[in-house]
Amino acid sequence: MIVPVIMAGGSGTRLWPMSRSLYPKQFLSLTAEATMLQETCARLQGLNIAQTLVICGEDHRFTVAEQLREVGRGEESAIVLEPAGRNTAPAVALAALRATAGGEDPLLLVLAADHVIRDVTAFHAAVEKAALHAEQGKLVTFGVVPTAPETGYGYIRQGNPCGDAFEVAEFVEKPDQATAESYLASGNFAWNSGMFMFRASRYLQELEQHRPDILDACKASMSGAKEDEDFVRPDKEEFLSCPDDSIDYAVMERTKEAVVVPMECGWSDVGSWSALWDVSKKDEAGNALIGDVISVDSRNCYIRSESKLVATVGLDDIVVVESDDSILVAHKDRVQEVKDVVSQLKSASRSEASVHRKVYRPWGHYDSVDNGERFQVKHIVVKPGGKLSLQMHHHRAEHWIVVSGTAKVVRGDDSFLVAENESTYIPLGVTHRLENPGTIQLEMIEVQSGSYLGEDDIVRFEDTYGRN
């Protein structure tokens, strides 16, 4: 039996402005109607798998849970919450310890949540080959057969053949152009996909041999783990003592039992806008056009519109991405530098680095449609059964107008219903709560007024979702 381990951490800064730290690329629909996380789950269908383990951070837990439920994987998955980012070696250790906690010792199939694989049949065939080696105690990595001298990937040099795989001779860092061309010409190198397969106990054994400090911290953290609803919560204090290291450096480059299974499945890590252009459907001029776009005499461009008409004239090899609050224009050869834009946004403490105008919450979402010096207008959508925290604000009052559905409102000592086309007022400093008791979505307009309108002006007294 195979236990998939889906790594759903990371911030995807190179795909800004679509990808942001609180809603990164793995949760976006970039290459299909489903999100990248959901596409990763979908390609597991047809394999002999057990419960899926998804590894993510605290900030993304409700997004992961909701997206798994949307594709029917909620009850078949467990979500392990990393108390802090410590790279892939500790994350996989948490998964291996969880998978072996009941005395079982499954094969772990370690996948990233944000990769594109276009040939699922070839992917399944590679997994089945890898399983044969993993059952014999090998630690398997998947090497993508290169189709170009790519300088954005690390490589694996293949050693002696062992069946339909190869011994791993060495892992090499991202090369320059000339070196990448020599790798491609030799036929002995594969792209390092960052996907792995091994028996859970074998990974823990190798970690104990090469990085016992990581294993000890993860064991202590999992021994104090707590479970609630969809989530497994390792002990934070113990995990914070864990060193930061990747699975490549901690285990795969040190073990003598590593093998690489070649894979030709239309793989991409979608690590930049140019990589997304590579895997996107294009018109006769080589343009990938998404959304409301008019392109005149433009070639080999990636142009994406989320909310407005975008028109281009006479562009070559340009990326244009319009989101609800930002626009990116970059040459395709310079898209790796988008991360520098994000760095500047963070240095300036600008919200565009971390959140979109539309913000998802466990109860639904809200969209900040307008704001000024002393006011803000939000469109709020609450799912059936959704309930906001019992809270209070020190600096703002709120007017609520119900557009669709019915709201149950707690205001001080009062509790009452507000129907469609009705409104209510929440004075500054008054404890309040909003709930959707109905079976359809509750939609409302919230008008905030006051001296400070930041999201940190919330004092929570009670919360269904365990937020502070």
- Alpha-carbon distance of 93 to 82, in angstroms, equals 11
Pairing state of beta strands 165-172 and 258-263?
A: antiparallel
Q: Cα-flanking dihedrals φ and ψ of residue 455, to 5°?
A: -70, -15
Could you tell me if 171 and 180 are in contact, meaning their C-beta atoms sit under 8 angstroms apart?
Answer: no
* Residue 75 pLDDT level (bands cut at 50, 70, 90): confident
Q: Cα-flanking dihedrals φ and ψ of residue 269, to 5°?
A: -90, 0
Q: Is 310 left (phi over 0), alpha (psi -120 to 50) or beta?
A: beta
Read out DSSP for 186-236?
HS-EEEEEEEEEEEHHHHHHHHHHH-HHHHHHHHHHHHT-EEETTEEE--H
> If you average pLDDT over residues 185-206, what whole number do you get?
97
Pairing state of beta strands 288-290 and 302-305?
A: parallel
Q: What's the full length of the chain, in residues? A: 468
Q: Tens of pLDDT along 113-134?
A: 999 999 999 999 999 999 999 9
Nearest to 268 by CA among 39, 59, 108, 20: 39
Q: Tens of pLDDT along 361-380?
A: 999 999 999 999 999 999 99
Joined together, the tokens standing for residue 330 give 């970059």
Q: Tens of pLDDT along 211-238?
A: 999 999 999 999 999 998 779 999 999 9
Joined together, the tokens standing for residue 33 give 């109607």
Q: Tens of pLDDT along 176-194?
A: 999 999 999 999 999 999 9
- Alpha-carbon distance of 202 to 5, in angstroms, equals 15
Q: Tens of pLDDT along 245-289?
A: 999 999 999 999 999 999 999 999 999 999 999 999 999 999 999
Q: How far is C-alpha 78 from the geometric centre of its chain's CA atoms?
A: 16
Could you tell me if 104 and 77 are in contact, meaning their C-beta atoms sit under 8 angstroms apart?
Answer: no
How wide is the angle at C-alpha 353 spanned by C-alphas 349 and 357, nearest 5°?
105
Residue with tokens 């390092």: 192
CATH code for residues 358-462: 2.60.120.10
Give me the residue spans of the domains in the chain. Answer: 2-268, 273-341, 358-462
- Alpha-carbon distance of 183 to 189, in angstroms, equals 6
What is the torsion angle, in degrees rounded to the nearest 10, for the CA atoms of residue 35, residue 41, residue 44 and residue 50? Answer: 180
Q: How far is C-alpha 73 from the geometric centre of its chain's CA atoms?
A: 16
- Alpha-carbon distance of 20 to 273, in angstroms, equals 14
DSSP 118: S
- Alpha-carbon distance of 60 to 441, in angstroms, equals 22
Tell me: pLDDT of 464 over 90: no
The confidence score (pLDDT) of residue 455 equals: 87
Could you tell me if 458 and 391 are in contact, meaning their C-beta atoms sit under 8 angstroms apart?
Answer: yes
How wide is the angle at C-alpha 101 spanned by C-alphas 99 and 105, nearest 5°?
50
CA distances from 431 to 235, 378, 385 (A): 32, 20, 20
> If you average pLDDT over residues 85-102, what whole number do you get?
96
Nearest to 266 by CA among 410, 170, 145, 349: 145
Beta-bridge mates of residue 77? 52
> If you average pLDDT over residues 1-17, what whole number do you get?
93
Could you tell me if 89 and 218 are in contact, meaning their C-beta atoms sit under 8 angstroms apart?
Answer: no
Read out DSSP for 91-105?
HHHHHHHHHTTTS--
Nearest to 2 by CA among 91, 135, 193, 166: 135
Nearest to 267 by CA among 399, 155, 117, 412: 117
Residue with tokens 């000024």: 372
How much is the CA Rg of the chain, to the nearest whole Å? 24
Tell me: pLDDT of 325 over 90: yes
The confidence score (pLDDT) of residue 198 equals: 98
The confidence score (pLDDT) of residue 467 equals: 76
Pairing state of beta strands 414-418 and 364-371?
A: unpaired
Largest CA distance in the chain: 76
CATH code for residues 2-268: 3.90.550.10
